[in-house]
A and B are shown apart, each in its own frame.
Chain A
């Protein structure tokens, strides 16, 4: 157990639907990062929050949004889902930034049918 909790582990939904992925960071970590990993691909950075504020944004689609709550948990909202959104979505956390690497959760496997 890495200390980063992601729920749900698996999600199957239809095209056009909206889903919410949840992440609780490791205790003491203030930064949360979201990454997308398509089949056998590298990890694409989506967005980062630090202590409730958005700090960095990657190639995140307009249909995707995220937020970090006062208790530091984060949610990634994916709407108007398309088949191409099927992927493994990782949440990671760190104390402040990436200098010492991240601690990753076990990911949410999203399948859009």
Chain B
């Protein structure tokens, strides 16, 4: 079964600085999708960014970017110019091509220090 591992239970960063959250996954598939979701204190799950495994170019959404290393099965999230509103739990997720479910990691709690 596919597994997703987030090795950092908690991270903190100063406001306006950059932070990187780590994620590794295990799969034997070649076509799949990776996601980062944000869960603020409101508990709502919000899609932050998506990466297609067949694309070598790293996805970027405004201040959020990923470093996708397919051979290493690594998918890290970089948040630039951190803002107080970025404080949340961040979940990495994996889904196979055409998969019926996403597999989520255990999450990383990000704190932003003013």
Query: B95 to chain A: which residues have CB within 8 Å?
Result: 97-99, 101
- Against A, the Cβ 8 Å flags (1 = close, 0 = not) of B32-45 are 01010100001111
Residues of B within 8 A of A41 (CB): 106-107
The distance in angstroms between the C-alpha atoms of A101 and B43, with both chains bound, is 17
Contact with A along B73-105 (1 / 0, CB 8 A): 000000000000000000101010111111111
Give the docked Cα–Cα distance between A97 and B35 (Å).
14
- Tell me, yes or no, whether B16 is within 8 Å of chain A by CB: no
- Interface size of A in residues (CB-CB distance below 8 Å): 28
How far is A98 from B50 in the complex, measured between Cα atoms in Å?
11
Q: From residue A42, how far is it (CB to closest CB) to chain B in Å? A: 4
Given contacts A2-B44, A99-B95, contact A43 B104 (CB under 8 A): yes
What is the distance, in angstroms, from B99's C-beta to the closest C-beta of chain A?
A: 5
Complex formed: what's the CA distance from A100 to B37 in Å? 12
Residues in chain B near residue A2, CB distance under 8 A: 44
**Is the pair A98, B104 in contact by a Cβ cutoff of 8 Å?**
no
In the assembled complex, which residues on chain B have CB atoms less than 8 Å from the CB atom of A99?
Answer: 33, 95, 97-99
In angstroms, how far is the closest chain B Cβ from the Cβ of A54?
10
Q: Is the CB of A98 within 8 A of B33?
A: yes
**Residues B28-80 near A (CB distance < 8 A):** 33, 35, 37, 42-47, 50
The distance from the CB of A47 to the nearest CB of chain B, in whole angstroms, is 9
Q: What are the residues of chain B within 8 A of A106 when measuring CB–CB?
A: 42-44
> Would you give the shortest CB distance from B79 to chain A, in whole angstroms?
18
Interface residues of B (CB under 8 A from A): 33, 35, 37, 42-47, 50, 91, 93, 95, 97-107
13 of the cross-chain contacts (CB-CB < 8 Å) are: A33-B101, A43-B91, A56-B100, A58-B101, A88-B43, A97-B98, A97-B99, A97-B100, A98-B101, A99-B95, A99-B97, A102-B45, A104-B44
* A residues adjacent to B (C-beta < 8 A): 2, 31, 33, 35, 40-43, 45, 48, 50, 55-56, 58, 88, 90, 92, 97-104, 106-107, 109
